[in-house]
Structure 1
Amino acid sequence: MGRMHADEHAIDTTLVRRLVRGQFPLWADLPVTPLASGGTVNAVYRLGDSLTVRLPLTAGGAGDLAKEARILTALDGLPVAVPAVVALGEPAEGYPWAWAVHGWLDGSPALEGRDAPARDLAAFVRALRALPADGPPTRRGKPLSDVDTATRRAIEELRRTDEPFDAAAALAAWAEALEAPQWTGAPSWVHADLMPSNLLLRDGRLSGVLDWATAGVGDPACDLIPAWNLLTADTRHTFREAVGADDATWARGRGRALSMAVIQLPYYRHTNPVISGNARHVLTELGCRPARGGGARLE
């Protein structure tokens, strides 16, 4: 990983040890281990065997910390595990923001293009939607037109790079998504950031879902993005059938996946290989990049 953000705060193991020792002396002697992560908002460290420490990299990420803690303490009845909020730390040792200690969840992050439990993922999405929609609105649950300018700007930026990229195909797919009817049903809970690195697998089953900072109430199409950022054509239709997505919701979900990918790729292509690699996977699945063994179909 390189430095991802111009305003990113320097964080290392020494800082984490000092913060833990100063505020939670009970854990002062536990080993602190940096975790390889594709995350763009927090630096994550394992603390002993049963805890993780999450420190926002920027002021924007710090603003979501309290919201995420409220959401995590309120969730109940999901078929997979979510992180337990164990403690919240305060600014200290030159670190300017609040930070969090969560319970450790066993499992390995999902990987795009590999076998993934489409039915488990659909069951999680449906269970989340079934919860009382009493949470805060999520910015990703708004109409796609809200990100039209940013998406078109990112497509143009990608067009000017050396990425193998079909801008015309991306614009056509984006126009199709914008034309889809908007959500008129009741808002529902959405995670809104179901990237593969936020999905934990154990023994081939979905066991946990991480990173709830963007969660809230909005358009359920937000949580269809794994159809393109994780799954392949072989399992995509299984997921769609199990999750019960109509044509309009499916089209909006496809547009959301496209928008995220074209915005992520130019920003992270030299600093975050996990996120940029996933963006390339999405664009390939959407037919906007050359695919190994032939072109991808827009589904």
Structure 2
Amino acid sequence: MTMHDDQVDVTAETVAALVREQFPQWSGKAIRLLPSTGTVNAIFRIGNDLSARFPLRPADAAEALASLKQEAQASAELAQVSRFPVPEPVALGNPGAGYPMPWSVQTWLPGTVASDADPSGSDTFAEDLAAFIADLREAETQGRLFDGEGRGGVLAHHDDWMAKCFEESKGLLDVPRLRQVWSHLRELPRTGADVMSHRDLIPGNVLVAGDRLSGVLDTGGFGPADRALDLVSAWHLLQPGPRAVLRQALDCDDLEWERGKAWAFEQAMGLVWYYVESNPTMSRMGRRTLDRILESME
């Protein structure tokens, strides 16, 4: 199903043609579209060990290539500090065979995404998740600061986006109540320095084996951000008991914890209305996160 009005379509036949033309060493490998709740890339398996990611939104080819190179560098950097498996960059592909943008190839990680195997009630999973976040926080920023893109800077800078979300959510959510929640959350001040962060710890980016964290996906956004940003995972992924386990393991004070809640709230508000028809799994995730946040404030 198309998730964006300007979405670029890519098929297994297109991917096979690109592989034949650009990476003939893989041309004998099976090409399979991976069913995914992801919203940024179409993902295809190449044989058993590789995956290819094709951006869904059109962009200038040169700008897209620069972005993919930056993502590959970030993924490689994160792989050096994570105790849990993460995809590692393998190659970058060029436009061709009717697909207008560059694309990327990574190693394939086995496992089940947390949106399919719900680990939300597991204290052990919460401990693993906290260990992953702690590993990233301990990595050197090397003098880098938040780049200003997306979540991870100043909460109030998202007011215009939140106003759009509230307008679009009329008839879907209790908008007056949610406006009141945001009016409180947006005022929470920054007190700590940026730390290295995954920046999108949602269920579709987390792999599970049993009740353990087995890997983390979509690592190309690894970079400096608000220390509280990766705490969105507490609200997207965990029930109250395990959520408390994660908080204790990371020794979060009240302000840091509340700012994590604020970032999760901002993300969830956009998911519900935007994907209500095109990606129901993401929309439901947003609703569940909002419900968890509201319950915590009662």
Normalized against structure 1, the TM-score is what?
0.90
| Offset, 1:174 | 1.3
CA distance in 2, matches of 1:278, 1:74: 29
2:176 counterpart (168, 175, 198): 168
Q: Deviations over 1:226-255 (max 9, x none)?
A: 111111112111111112221111111111
| Offset, 1:168 | 2.6
Q: Which amino acid aligns with 1:92?
A: G
Decide which moves more: 54-63 or 90-99: 54-63
Answering whether residue 146 of structure 2 is matched by residue 137 of structure 1, we say yes
| Offset, 1:172 | 2.2
Q: In 2 relative to 1, CA 136–92 (structure 1 residues): closer, same or farther, beyond 3 Å?
A: farther
8 Å Cα contact 1:87/1:100 also seen in 2: yes
Answering whether residue 75 of structure 2 is matched by residue 64 of structure 1, we say no
Q: Which amino acid aligns with 2:277?
A: H
* 3-state DSSP of counterpart to 2:39: coil
1:243 counterpart (244, 250, 261): 250
CA distance in 1, matches of 2:17, 2:251: 48
Q: Deviations over 1:239-295 (max 9, x none)?
A: 1111222111111111111111111211111001221111111111122xxxxxxxx
CA distance in 1, matches of 2:23, 2:145: 30
| Offset, 1:136 | 6.4
CA distance in 2, matches of 1:46, 1:133: 33
Match of 2:162 in 1: 151
Answering whether residue 174 of structure 2 is matched by residue 185 of structure 1, we say no
Unaligned runs of 5+ in 1: 288-295
Q: Which amino acid aligns with 1:64?
A: S
Q: Which amino acid aligns with 1:197?
A: G
Q: Which amino acid aligns with 1:206?
A: L
Q: Deviations over 1:132-169 (max 9, x none)?
A: 0135634222111111121122022202x3x2x22232
| Offset, 1:14 | 0.5
| Offset, 1:186 | 2.4
CA distance in 1, matches of 2:223, 2:234: 20
CA distance in 1, matches of 2:96, 2:138: 40
* TM superposition outliers: structure 1 runs of 4+ over 6 Å: none
Answering whether residue 223 of structure 2 is matched by residue 208 of structure 1, we say no
* 3-state DSSP of counterpart to 2:284: helix
Match of 1:73 in 2: 76
Unaligned runs of 5+ in 2: none
CA distance in 1, matches of 2:26, 2:54: 17
Percent of residue pairs identical: 37
Normalized against structure 2, the TM-score is what?
0.91
| Offset, 1:181 | 2.1
Root mean square deviation of aligned Cα: 1.8
